């Protein structure tokens, strides 16, 4: 079930050097479905979650820009008038055609993930 009133998620997008990215970064908010916006020249984005999320549901906001990426989640609480969420991108490590953006430790295994395919990963070590 979606909301019966506007609920914006909004903010600025910064690169991994904490500089505003400017125009052109795509930001996606996913709740029950997804909505997107592209940053303006001031690096601002705004997405109205009215048609994309439900009260009490989890909303995940992601941004991929020039090989850098970020994902942040929050619980939608309708008593708030909206959600200010500034995004600071994580630095990518360029290894030829692969950009490594994040890692996940599971037990004694370390996995790396790329932004090009949410299913792509490589096991990097046992430690």
**Which class is 8-88 in CATH?**
mainly beta
- For 69, residues 6+ apart whose C-beta sits below 8 A from its C-beta are 62, 63, 89, 90, 92, 101, 102, 115
Q: Model confidence over 36-79: pLDDT tens digits? A: 999 999 999 999 999 889 899 999 999 989 888 899 999 998 88
Q: What is the mean pLDDT of the chain?
A: 80
Q: In this structure, are residues 16 and 68 in contact, taking their beta carbons and an 8 Å threshold?
A: yes
All CATH 2.60.40.10 domain ranges of the chain, comma separated, are 8-88
Rounded to two decimals, what is the model's pTM? Answer: 0.72
Q: Counting every residue, how long is the chain?
A: 127
């Amino acid at each position: 079930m979606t909301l019966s009133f506007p609920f914006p998620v909004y903010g600025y997008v910064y690169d991994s050097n904490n500089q505003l990215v400017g125009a052109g970064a795509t930001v996606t908010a996913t709740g029950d479905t997804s909505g997107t916006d592209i940053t303006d020249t001031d690096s601002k984005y705004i997405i109205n979650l009215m048609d994309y999320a439900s009260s009490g549901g989890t909303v995940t906001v992601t941004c991929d820009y020039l090989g850098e990426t970020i994902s942040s989640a929050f619980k939608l609480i309708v008593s708030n008038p909206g959600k200010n969420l500034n995004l600071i991108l994580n630095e990518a490590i360029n290894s030829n055609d692969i950009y490594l953006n994040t890692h996940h430790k599971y037990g004694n295994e370390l996995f790396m993930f790329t932004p090009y395919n949410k299913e792509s990963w490589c096991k990097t070590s046992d430690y």
